[in-house]
Amino acid sequence: MLARQTLRLSTRARLFSSTAARPAAAEVKRLGVIGAGQMGLGIALVAAQRANVPVTLVDASQASLDKGIAFAEKLLAKDVAKQRITQEQADAARALFTPTTTLDSLADVDFVIEAVPEIPSLKFDIFSKLAEICPKHAILATNTSSISITRIAASTTGGRPTDTSNSSRVVSTHFMNPVPIQKGVEIIAGLQTSAATLETAVAFCQRLGKVASVSADSPGFLANRILMPYINEAVICLETGVGDRDSIDAIMKNGTNVPMGPLQLADFIGLDTCLSIMKVLHEETGDSKYRPSVLLRNMVDAGWLGKKSGKGFYDY
């Protein structure tokens, strides 16, 4: 009975359930971002533009760094052309970027956000290194959309799980894509995450102009726990002939006022990403309602991954 009552507590309620006052958020003077892809670059750009925070942008590939910086400059130039910002503001934001290929460059950050591909072993390795490199006050955040925060936090303990000096500062800041446009961000606390870490993560995301939603460390968290079964069911409707592609997307766009239908949205997310998240939901919950659509599996096997491959439910 006690276990059930505990599960009903929200993450924030669990962390702030004691009589102690809610901890104050720590100040973030310098941000580190790992991964110069679309998500990492978007996070870095928003931090520089909206919060005036210096950003150390890390990627193992110099080519990826160059491509990411060029894309940031393109977005800034577009904002200048549309008179959203001045050229001086664009130059000031660009000057806040420090691109580098070494994790050791994160030795002076107050907050670091990892935004690399959804490969558990890769994330575990990165966080193990961050625990040694970053200052002991620094928050270690991940942008994961599906991997357990508790597992990621455990990778920082050096085999000493009862020592929570590092794991207590691990949290997820799961930004929505594209980061400069979407306001939503999920804040997910692992079992080890401290109340101070959670409060700092929420406050920093709000400083970036985001609307934070706090989630428990449960498969799929909030966004994908709701979104991916919706997309998967749309694929099943197509697969079983309940409706054709255009009818499925049209009824959701015109019936629920969403900007794009579920099949078009899946193409933009990437069908391989959708499949990966559905597999996580299915495997970790054991619930058959999360079984990935056969058609979704087949399309990924065919290499029809959506917009990024040129073909998905639509042709690009």
Q: Which tens digit of pLDDT belongs to each residue from 126-155?
A: 999 999 999 999 999 999 988 999 999 999
Q: How many residues does the chain have?
A: 316
Q: Does residue 308 have a known ligand-binding role? A: yes
With the CA atoms of 160, 164, 106 and 133 taken in that order, what torsion angle do they form, in degrees rounded to the nearest 10?
-30
Give the SS3 label for residue 141.
Answer: strand
Cα separations in angstroms, 180 against 76, 210, 305: 11, 10, 24
Q: Tell me the C-alpha distance between 307 and 269, whole Å.
A: 8
pLDDT at 316 over 90: yes
Order the strands of the 97-100 sheet from edge to edge. 97-100, 55-58, 31-34, 111-114, 139-142, 170-175, 184-189, 211-216
Rg over alpha carbons for the chain, rounded to the nearest Å, is 20
Pair 194, 166: CB distance under 8 Å: no
pLDDT at 188 over 90: yes
pLDDT in tens, 46-66: 999 999 999 999 999 999 999
Q: How much is the pLDDT for 146?
A: 85
pLDDT at 70 over 70: yes
Q: Does residue 159 have a known ligand-binding role? A: no
pLDDT at 2 over 80: no
Residue with tokens 């929570």: 164
pLDDT at 233 over 50: yes
pLDDT at 157 over 70: yes
Structure tokens at 266: 């899946």
Q: Does residue 59 have a known ligand-binding role? A: yes
pLDDT in tens, 84-113: 999 999 999 999 999 999 999 999 999 999
pLDDT at 21 over 80: no
Q: How much is the pLDDT for 14?
A: 65
pLDDT at 7 over 60: no
Q: How much is the pLDDT for 13?
A: 66
Q: Does residue 35 have a known ligand-binding role? A: yes
DSSP-based helix, strand, coil % in the chain, nearest 5: 50, 15, 35
Give the SS3 label for residue 213.
Answer: strand
Cβ-in-10-Å burial (0-12, 13-18, 19+) of 38 comes to middle
Q: Does residue 114 have a known ligand-binding role? A: no
User: Above pLDDT 90, what percent of the chain?
Assistant: 88
List the catalytic residues.
145, 174, 186, 224
Can you tell me the mean pLDDT for 206-210?
Answer: 97
DSSP state of 306: B
Can you tell me the mean pLDDT for 21-27?
Answer: 85
Q: Does residue 123 have a known ligand-binding role? A: yes
Q: Tell me the C-alpha distance between 280 and 118, whole Å.
A: 11
Pair 107, 135: CB distance under 8 Å: yes
Q: How much is the pLDDT for 1?
A: 39
- Written as one string, the DSSP assignment of 34-94 is E--SHHHHHHHHHHHHHH---EEEE-S-HHHHHHHHHHHHHHHHHHHHTTSS-HHHHHHHH
Q: Tell me the C-alpha distance between 214 and 299, whole Å.
A: 33
